[in-house]
Structure 1
Amino acid sequence: MTVLEGVQLGIGLLALLAGFVMFGALPTLKTNGKPILMPVPLPSLTVIIPARNEAGRIAPLLRSLREQRYPSFEVLVVDDDSTDETATIASGFGATVLRNDTVEAGSGKSAACWHGARHAKGKWLLFLDADTALADADSLTKLVGSYAQKGARGILSLQPYHTVQRLYENLSAVFNVIVIVGMNVFTLWGTRFKTAGSFGPCILCNKDDYFAVGGHRKIQGAVLDDLALGQAFLDRDLPVHCVGGGGVISFRMYPEGFGTLVEGWCKSFAVGSKSTHPVVMSLTILWITGGFMSAAALISSIAAWNPAAMALAVFLYAAYAVQTLRFARRCGNFNKGLFLIYPLLFMFFAALHIYSLFRARVLHSVKWKGRKIEV
């Protein structure tokens, strides 16, 4: 075995172990078939859905809301200057449509969420992205019950389970892992590190806390509203609980096509890494580096036709493939077969991350839904 092969295998093995520390577990709402301890009386709930040109994506969410058994909730869809049939579709499902006709109309998700919150009648507020969908008729009940059991203070945020339908959507696999890991609270150390903020697609809070911290109005202009809103709650010593959404809520990211996927992840990673704890960031960099090293070790050993090195390299490559698959399947239903060629997923992640850094550090802007966002 050459020195180079030894170094590649050593880094790969170290990175494999770092991966288990980096992503120890992804807790979900634990019901285990047992009755949820519900608050009495049940709090009234307002579901707020900011929507800009979501005609092609919002129907599954509205359909799942219409099927909920929770007795006291309203649905507000904030039409944020849409030019499609978003408002018509929302009205057809019985949702109340609010047109954000203020001076902030069309200025983004935070402005739309704030507009909806100001018109909410419920005591608790649930902000949902238009591309999400609730898993079953008791999802709202699970959310409300879990929030109550956590003290009904601050934020309960869920990262939806990613449902994949088209081949290119599997390119989001590593991104989903990194987004969850980057919240700092899913390592083997649990909550030792302060959370980076909240997940954005599903946020539940009570109205009093929301307005006390200034809500989405306080963070207007932030590129990643989820991280900024969570930080606003933390700054007021209010808790932020982040969990996985498996069995409660799902979404399909960027179904419009590959270009939208690139824009969406570029926006997220242009500034998101700033909130990740340095230890978690170091583990993440090591894990990604190890993915490349394990593939390089396999190629080097085959080229040199070194049976001993080949055996170790094959073991490491297979272990990395299984680990990456395990991590990704916590986040979504990604194609199992693609993880046999997992280095391609790592290469796409690295290339897009470099591009996002170029957008943020050189161009100082990213694109999203027709908007140019300064970063």
Structure 2
Amino acid sequence: MPVSVGINLLVGLLALLVGFMMFRSLPVLARAGGPVLFPLLSIVIPARNEAGRIAPLLRSLQEQHYKSFEVLVVDDHSTDETAAIAHSFGATVLHNDAIQSGSGKSAACWHGAQHARGQWLLFLDADTALADADSLTKLLGSYRQRGARGILSLQPYHTVHRFYENLSAIFNVIVIVGMNVFTLWKTRFNTAGSFGPCILCNKDDYFLSGGHHKILGAVLDDLALGQAFLDKNLPVRCMGGGGVINFRMYPEGLKTLVEGWCKSFAVGSKSTHPIVMSMIVLWISGAFISTGAFVSSIASLNPAAMALSALLYAAYALQTWRFARRCGNFRKSLFFVYPLLFTFFAVLHVYSLFRAHVLHSVKWKGRKIEV
């Protein structure tokens, strides 16, 4: 067996093992119990030109068994029918007329929180939808079981409808792993913040932390808000949203997908613990190294090398698919050519670094955001 192939196999195997340590598990909420009473809940939904996406969320809220909540849709300078659709589902529509720095989402959330009547606040992105009629009960019950303090945030389960949306697979894995708390060591590392699409907290803790007003200039409001709570010694808990809340990311097309992930990754990696980041880098490198070992073994016509490298390639494909399936319903067949997914991730990540460190700006929903 050629020495270079043997080295690639060893490094690839090491990266495969590191992958298991990097993403040990993704806990989800338990099933809902019997009928219970919770404080009045205010659901705040920041929305900018979400006419094509907000209806499933509002419909899923109407279908909940638990009914003690108000829905506040904060219209953030929309130019479409977002407000009219929200009205048609009985939501209270607030208009955020203030011109703030940053992406606008934090200003909209702050505006909604100031008008909320509930003792608990649930911030939901407009592209999410609750999975079933017991989702709110599961979420609120879990928050109460954990002391009803700080933040409980869920990363929604990504539902894929069109082929190009599968290109988000590696990004979903890295977003979750980058929160630091899903490794083999679980809580050894502090969380990088909170997941942005679904954040539950109580009003007292929210205003004590400064809430979204404190982070108006932040590009990644989810990480910044979580850190604001941590700065006040308030707990921040992150979990998977499977069986509770779903979302469909960037259904508008590939261009929006590129802009969205570029915005997220331009500054997001700064909050990941160096040890976790090192594991991520090794795991991503292993994807290319295992592929290189497979190609080199074929070129060398060495039967032993070909067999071992094929096993490593297959193991990497299976591991990557299992990681991705924790995050969304990504197409299984695509992981037979997983190097394409990693290549797309690497190219877009380099582009995001260029936008952040050379152009010092990213684009999102018609806005130019300084970073």
SS of the residue corresponding to residue 279 of structure 2 reads: helix
- Displacement after TM superposition at 1:106 (Å): 9.4
Is the contact between residue 81 and residue 105 of structure 1 (CA under 8 Å) also seen in structure 2? no
Rounded Cα–Cα distance in structure 2 between residues aligned with 1:371 and 1:198:
24
* Counterpart in the other structure of 2:303: 307
Structure 2, unmatched stretches of 5+, are: none
Deviation digits for residues 275-332 of structure 1 (CA, Å, limit 9, x no counterpart): 0000000000000000001111110000111100000000000000000000000000
Is the contact between residue 198 and residue 229 of structure 1 (CA under 8 Å) also seen in structure 2? yes
Correspondence list, 1:238-317, <5 A: 238-317=234-313
Rounded Cα–Cα distance in structure 2 between residues aligned with 1:100 and 1:199:
23
Rounded Cα–Cα distance in structure 2 between residues aligned with 1:71 and 1:16:
46
Correspondence list, 1:24-63, <5 A: 24-31=24-31, 35=33, 38=36, 41-63=37-59
- Displacement after TM superposition at 1:70 (Å): 1.0
- Displacement after TM superposition at 1:57 (Å): 0.4
* Counterpart in the other structure of 2:136: 140
Is the contact between residue 80 and residue 106 of structure 1 (CA under 8 Å) also seen in structure 2? no
Query: What is the one-letter code of the residue matched to 1:147?
Result: Y
Percent identical: 77
* Counterpart in the other structure of 1:101: 97
Rounded Cα–Cα distance in structure 2 between residues aligned with 1:30 and 1:117:
28
Rounded Cα–Cα distance in structure 2 between residues aligned with 1:66 and 1:204:
19
Rounded Cα–Cα distance in structure 2 between residues aligned with 1:103 and 1:16:
48
* Counterpart in the other structure of 2:87: 91
- Displacement after TM superposition at 1:179 (Å): 0.2
- Displacement after TM superposition at 1:71 (Å): 2.8
Rounded Cα–Cα distance in structure 1 between residues aligned with 2:100 and 2:328:
35
Report the more deviating stretch, 41-50 or 105-114.
Answer: 105-114
Query: What is the one-letter code of the residue matched to 1:197?
Result: G
Rounded Cα–Cα distance in structure 2 between residues aligned with 1:371 and 1:361:
18
Pair 105,193 (structure 1): closer, same or farther in 2 beyond 3 Å: closer
* Counterpart in the other structure of 1:68: 64
SS of the residue corresponding to residue 165 of structure 1 reads: coil
Correspondence list, 1:114-263, <5 A: 114-263=110-259
Pair 167,46 (structure 1): closer, same or farther in 2 beyond 3 Å: same
Query: What is the one-letter code of the residue matched to 2:6?
Result: G
* Counterpart in the other structure of 1:341: 337
- Displacement after TM superposition at 1:101 (Å): 1.9
Report the more deviating stretch, 263-272 or 93-102.
Answer: 93-102
Query: What is the one-letter code of the residue matched to 1:6?
Result: G
* Counterpart in the other structure of 2:20: 20
Pair 77,3 (structure 1): closer, same or farther in 2 beyond 3 Å: same
TM-score (norm 1): 0.97
Deviation digits for residues 194-224 of structure 1 (CA, Å, limit 9, x no counterpart): 0000000000000000011110000001000
SS of the residue corresponding to residue 18 of structure 1 reads: helix
Structure 1, unmatched stretches of 5+, are: none
Rounded Cα–Cα distance in structure 2 between residues aligned with 1:309 and 1:285:
25
Is the contact between residue 74 and residue 94 of structure 2 (CA under 8 Å) also seen in structure 1? yes
SS of the residue corresponding to residue 18 of structure 2 reads: helix
Is the contact between residue 54 and residue 86 of structure 1 (CA under 8 Å) also seen in structure 2? yes
Is the contact between residue 321 and residue 342 of structure 1 (CA under 8 Å) also seen in structure 2? yes
SS of the residue corresponding to residue 362 of structure 2 reads: strand
Report the more deviating stretch, 226-235 or 100-109.
Answer: 100-109
Is the contact between residue 36 and residue 145 of structure 1 (CA under 8 Å) also seen in structure 2? no
Is the contact between residue 103 and residue 369 of structure 2 (CA under 8 Å) also seen in structure 1? no
Report how many aligned residue pairs link the two structures.
Answer: 371
SS of the residue corresponding to residue 83 of structure 2 reads: helix
Is the contact between residue 102 and residue 217 of structure 2 (CA under 8 Å) also seen in structure 1? no
Pair 231,106 (structure 1): closer, same or farther in 2 beyond 3 Å: closer
Alignment partner of 1:9 is 2:5? no
Query: What is the one-letter code of the residue matched to 1:354?
Result: V
SS of the residue corresponding to residue 25 of structure 1 reads: coil
- Displacement after TM superposition at 1:69 (Å): 1.4
Deviation digits for residues 242-289 of structure 1 (CA, Å, limit 9, x no counterpart): 000000000000000000000000000000000000000000000000
* Counterpart in the other structure of 2:320: 324
Query: What is the one-letter code of the residue matched to 2:267?
Result: V
- Displacement after TM superposition at 1:105 (Å): 9.6
